[in-house]
């Protein structure tokens, strides 16, 4: 049960370093200089986005045998590992909601939209399909987002400029590859190929 919380937290926290939503957090922190409404917007947007992603992952898992689900997870984790190695760039339109909505609503809208189709959303779908405790997966992925983004909001550009982003992306990719190997092992077990 605890694994359903801790693994998603760790995976998303590491995968989020250098991600476009972390860059978005930097931009919003520099623009508004009000960390608490920005953090509140990140929490609300992430909970909404990851709840939807988790529901999809949990729903999809019911359509496949254990072996097929593990093969799909292995392929997805491998693709996400490779995707993690590619640095994200901030799209101008994602930060262009402007000052008219204020820091909370701007962050809520921008983060929700930036997370659609993002690797952490894809990871949430996969993790929800893998672990039986959907609520813990959603809480874990949200905590992972906060672990990665709250320090950026609080410290501004200082912290992000000092982090070895390439090394962190490689560590995140390795974590996804390990999850892919675990999924392959479980697929082989479910198929009866290994005992």
Positive or negative, the CA dihedral 26, 27, 28, 32 is positive
pLDDT tens figures, 14-35: 888 877 788 788 878 877 878 9
**CA distances in angstroms from 103 to 30, 34, 149, 189, 192, listed in the order given:** 11, 7, 15, 49, 54
Positive or negative, the CA dihedral 104, 110, 116, 120 is negative
Whether residue 58 is contained in a domain is answered as: yes
- Give the phi and the psi of residue 99 in degrees, each rounded to 5: -80, -10
Whether residue 195 is contained in a domain is answered as: no
Question: What's the average model confidence in pLDDT over 53-74?
Answer: 84
Whether residue 100 is contained in a domain is answered as: yes
Select the more confidently predicted residue: 59 or 161: 59
Number of domains, the chain = 1
Select the more confidently predicted residue: 92 or 76: 76
Whether residue 20 is contained in a domain is answered as: yes
**Averaging pLDDT over each range in 82-91, 157-166, 185-194, which range is the top one?**
185-194
Task: Indicate the range of 44-48, 122-126, 158-162, 169-173 predicted with least confidence.
Answer: 158-162
Q: Is the pTM of this model over 0.75?
A: no
Whether residue 162 is contained in a domain is answered as: yes
pLDDT at 165: 62
pLDDT tens figures, 102-130: 899 999 998 898 888 788 888 899 899 88
| Mean of the per-residue pLDDT values of the chain | 82
Domain that holds residue 116: 3-190
pLDDT of 173 above 80:
no
Whether residue 149 is contained in a domain is answered as: yes
pLDDT of 194 above 90:
no
- Radius of gyration over every alpha carbon of the chain, rounded to an integer in angstroms: 17
């Amino acid at each position: 049960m605890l694994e359903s919380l801790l693994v998603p937290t760790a995976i998303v926290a590491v995968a989020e370093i250098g991600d476009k939503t972390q860059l978005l957090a930097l931009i919003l922190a520099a623009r508004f200089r009000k960390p608490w409404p920005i953090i509140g917007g990140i929490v609300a947007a992430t909970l909404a986005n990851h709840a939807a992603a988790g529901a999809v992952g949990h729903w999809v898992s019911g359509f496949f045998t254990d072996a097929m689900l593990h093969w799909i997870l292995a392929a997805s984790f491998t693709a996400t590992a490779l995707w993690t190695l590619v640095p994200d760039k901030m799209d101008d339109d994602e930060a262009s909601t402007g000052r008219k909505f204020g820091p909370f609503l701007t962050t809520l809208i921008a983060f929700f939209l930036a997370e659609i189709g993002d690797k952490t959303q894809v990871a949430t779908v996969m993790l929800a399909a893998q672990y039986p405790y959907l609520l813990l997966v959603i809480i874990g992925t949200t905590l992972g987002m906060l672990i990665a983004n709250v320090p950026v909001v609080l410290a501004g550009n200082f912290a992000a400029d000092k982090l070895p982003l390439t090394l962190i992306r490689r560590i995140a990719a390795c974590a996804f590859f390990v999850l892919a190997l675990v999924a392959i092992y479980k697929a082989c077990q479910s198929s009866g190929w290994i005992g």
